[in-house]
Amino acid sequence: MPTIPDQTIEEIRSRTDIVQVIGDRVPLKRAGAAWKACCPFHHEKTPSFTVNPQRQTYKCFGCGEGGDVFKFLMKHDGMTFLDAVRHLAGKCGVEIVEEDDGGRGARARRLFQVNAEAAAFFHRCLLQAAAAAPARAYLEKRSLGPDVVELFELGYDPEPWGTLDKFAEAHGFSKREMVEAGLGLLPDGAESASLLRDRFHGRLMFPVKDHQGRVVAFSGRVLDKAASPAKYVNSPETDIFKKSRVLYALDKAQRAIASATHREAIVCEGQIDVIRCHACGFPRAVASEGTAFTDEHAKLLHRYADSAVLLFDADGAGRKAAIRTASILLAEGIPVRIARMPDGEDPDSFLLSHSKEDFQAVLDAAIGPVPFHVAHLRAQEADPDGADAAGRIAKEVLQTVAACASAVHKARMVQELARELRLPEDAIRAELAGVEEAVRRQREGAAFRRETVARGGVSAPPPPLSPPPPDLPPPELFDDPADAAAPPAGPADPPPDPTDVALCEFLLKHGGEHPATVRALSALLPPAILPNPMVRALVAAFYAEAAGGDGDALLRVQEEDPKAADFLGVLSARRDPAADHPPRDFVHQALLDAWRRHVATRLAACAGETGLDAVRKRQDLRRATLDLKSWHLGCARVHELAGVPLPAPGADEFPDLPALEGEEEPERPPAPYVRHNPEAAPPEEPPAAQEPPERRPTDLDEDDIPPDAL
């Protein structure tokens, strides 16, 4: 863990003028040997906030806040102690050498330099390059003037191949550093004479800064829709850029948020919305960068804000995103209001066509998450006043209420929900208790899985679970698919049957113990053949986590679909279905059941077809149904249907499962018997590395880049 030596901290403290630091943020007036102002930490009319330059301290005699310059930055700007030290070190010219750094600090500083120089280069190109005319025309069309361009340091990445090579050479950066910063790619993945592939070439560039104002990444918007199907391209995650830890424009908004009434932040969906808010006099706006709003975003925002108002698009997707984000902020202890935009409007379009006062009226009229969520759900009901509709709406909204960390806010939300649905508060509280219990079980199950994976897949007894409260359906109802305790699917979705439930339960309770088996299942049992969409999403998430590519896939599915969270919560409390059967036998049976059901569906679909080909197809499907009754013959069928080659003789497809007693290699049918499954997707081959067009840096047109841009 890197640390900063105490003598370095003391040197920074001695070189820093606390009056200047606080005076940049609070209007100070001299009062004898000290300086005074109205306290920035509470509302007052008579100044009681005093800064003592001799002691280099501050003190408010009204609310009691006091400390040194580091504590002031932590309290007022929301910085951590290390952030405050680094910020002041940069201001007073003290170099920080962190102990036990292992070279990470030097690498990070180098990446910051690369990004800072690149942002300045792109900005110069936007202002000066002839090739940037389409970018300037786009900004003019969007009414983003020179002041906005300067404030957010917007830029343009020139089209021609070789631009990055020239830039790197001019500033002394290696190709590897350009790749590590996320600006370019090398065709062969290593240092070579090949030109860098520019990730953003021909795009309008939005520098992304961390809360300290350092450029950590870029977002590039396409100008020619025919050139790329991707509207925006974002930097990949690097040593200095994690999407879940960066809020766009927070470096500019943090002081406005800290000094606002109730320290309220404005949370938007996109960069243009944030830029428009800042340009029109609402500098408290921020947005997540390149990903949905996360728990880490909420923790970061909470350092500066005590409340938030959400300003998302007025379409269905925007309302769902607002509800999801509100739940995350409530879980962090941040009270939330949601502003209702007129249909078809977003903050950018609204501010272009309305006055600042009209926009402020929209913010003032923002409502709590409960009435907003209820209105959203009622609009989707055919009979919103029906008793069954009230039950569905209450269950959905209580997922948001259950996430709230504050008991006071939670009690207020219960009152609002009871009032909106015209139901007794006692009934809402009883229903909330059941939802909270299901969420608690789900979290315990998730924590147990993470702990199992952290131990390298070694299983341990799960934590004890309390029995479900009387108002929850008993877990045994899962044995009957018609009465499954899982939340009912939509009218067009089949409920999870025993095969679906058993598969999810095996992956939930044993996936961490048997990662190789889960990877084999992902090839032999694709989620696409599972009829229930919720089960498909959960199984795909289990597969993604086992593959190591997305460690948060399962949690994200549960956040997006509260029904999935309930489903896994009840599963975690059930008796282990694999307890009575060897795991290998259980996996074999799950594969046979799933494919036999899929084959039966295909057979029913072609029942009315005529012709010789249809007859042969039905005969083959009937033979497959017979084969899939036992693993002895069904093994070859499963591989054929999945489009996966049979393992080599002696190879074990499930090496981390104990073998069944007396198990032998399954008999392989004759070659003519196994036909290629036309519905199975062929395995993808890795794309061959492609060299960029044969253009050398010297081939750049003179008017593409101004002579002084590099």
Q: Model confidence over 326-355: pLDDT tens digits?
A: 999 999 999 999 999 888 888 999 999 999
- Give the pLDDT mean for 43-62: 87
* Model confidence at 211: pLDDT above 80: yes
- DSSP line for 449-469: HHHHHHTTS---PPPP-PPPP
Q: What residue type is 464 in one-letter code?
A: P
| Distance in angstroms (rounded) separating the CA atoms of residues 324 and 326 | 5
Q: Model confidence over 351-380: pLDDT tens digits?
A: 999 999 999 999 999 999 999 999 999 998
- Give the pLDDT mean for 673-682: 45
392 touches 377 (CB < 8 A): yes
Quickly tell me which residue has 């929209």 as its tokens: 362
Torsion angle, alpha carbons of 473, 477, 480, 486, to 10 = 50
Beta-bridge partner residues of 220: 205, 233
DSSP 678: T
Going by pLDDT thresholds of 50, 70 and 90, the confidence category of residue 577 is low
Q: What pLDDT, on the 0 to 100 scale, is given for residue 7?
A: 77
Higher pLDDT, 185 or 366: 366
* Model confidence at 249: pLDDT above 90: yes
**DSSP SS3 for 666:** coil
- Greatest mean pLDDT among 139-148, 479-488, 540-549 lies in 139-148
211 touches 83 (CB < 8 A): yes
- Give the pLDDT mean for 103-115: 85
Q: What pLDDT, on the 0 to 100 scale, is given for residue 357?
A: 94
* Model confidence at 675: pLDDT above 80: no
Q: Model confidence over 428-474: pLDDT tens digits?
A: 999 898 888 877 777 776 666 666 656 555 444 444 433 333 333 33
| C-alpha atoms less than 13 angstroms from C-alpha of 537 in its C-beta half-sphere | 17
* Model confidence at 683: pLDDT above 50: no
Torsion angle, alpha carbons of 524, 529, 533, 534, to 10 = -30
Alpha helix stretches (DSSP H) within 455-497: none
Query: What angle is formed at CA 395 by the lines to CA 392 and CA 396, rounded to 5 degrees?
Result: 85
* Model confidence at 92: pLDDT above 80: yes
Q: What pLDDT, on the 0 to 100 scale, is given for residue 137?
A: 94
Higher pLDDT, 681 or 258: 258
The alpha carbon of residue 251 and the mean position of all alpha carbons in its chain are separated, in whole angstroms, by 21
* Percentage of the chain modeled with pLDDT above 70: 80
Q: Model confidence over 25-51: pLDDT tens digits?
A: 889 998 888 899 998 888 788 888 999
The alpha carbon of residue 661 and the mean position of all alpha carbons in its chain are separated, in whole angstroms, by 45
Averaged pLDDT of the chain:
80
* Percentage of the chain modeled with pLDDT above 90: 31
Q: What residue type is 453 in one-letter code?
A: V
Structure tokens at 34: 């000290």
- Give the pLDDT mean for 257-272: 89
Q: Of 13-27, 120-134, 279-293, 603-617, which range is least confident?
A: 603-617
- Give the pLDDT mean for 225-246: 85
| Distance in angstroms (rounded) separating the CA atoms of residues 637 and 682 | 17
Q: Of 20-29, 472-481, 593-602, 670-679, which range is least confident?
A: 472-481
**DSSP SS3 for 167:** helix
Q: What pLDDT, on the 0 to 100 scale, is given for residue 573?
A: 62
Q: Residues with Cβ < 8 Å from 40, sequence gap 6 or more?
A: 25, 26, 49, 76, 258, 259
Q: What pLDDT, on the 0 to 100 scale, is given for residue 456?
A: 55
Taken as a whole, the chain contains a residue count of: 710
Q: Model confidence over 374-430: pLDDT tens digits?
A: 999 999 888 888 888 888 999 999 998 998 988 899 999 999 999 999 999 999 999
* Model confidence at 58: pLDDT above 50: yes
Q: What pLDDT, on the 0 to 100 scale, is given for residue 478?
A: 32
- Give the pLDDT mean for 522-536: 89
User: For residue 470, with 0-12 CB atoms within 10 Å meaning exposed, 13-18 middle and 19 or more buried, which class applies?
Assistant: exposed
| Residue 508 dihedral angles phi and psi, to the nearest 5° | -65, -45
Beta-bridge partner residues of 217: 208
- Give the pLDDT mean for 189-202: 72
Q: What residue type is 382 in one-letter code?
A: A
Q: What pLDDT, on the 0 to 100 scale, is given for residue 188?
A: 59
Q: What pLDDT, on the 0 to 100 scale, is given for residue 208?
A: 95
Higher pLDDT, 108 or 707: 108
- Give the pLDDT mean for 70-81: 84
Q: What pLDDT, on the 0 to 100 scale, is given for residue 466?
A: 39
- Give the pLDDT mean for 127-138: 93
Q: What pLDDT, on the 0 to 100 scale, is given for residue 99?
A: 55
Structure tokens at 168: 């790197």
Going by pLDDT thresholds of 50, 70 and 90, the confidence category of residue 695 is very low
Q: What pLDDT, on the 0 to 100 scale, is given for residue 485?
A: 37
* Model confidence at 157: pLDDT above 70: yes
Domains and CATH numbers, the chain: 6-92 (3.90.580.10), 104-241 (3.90.980.10), 245-367 (3.40.1360.10), 374-439 (no CATH), 501-679 (no CATH)
Going by pLDDT thresholds of 50, 70 and 90, the confidence category of residue 489 is very low
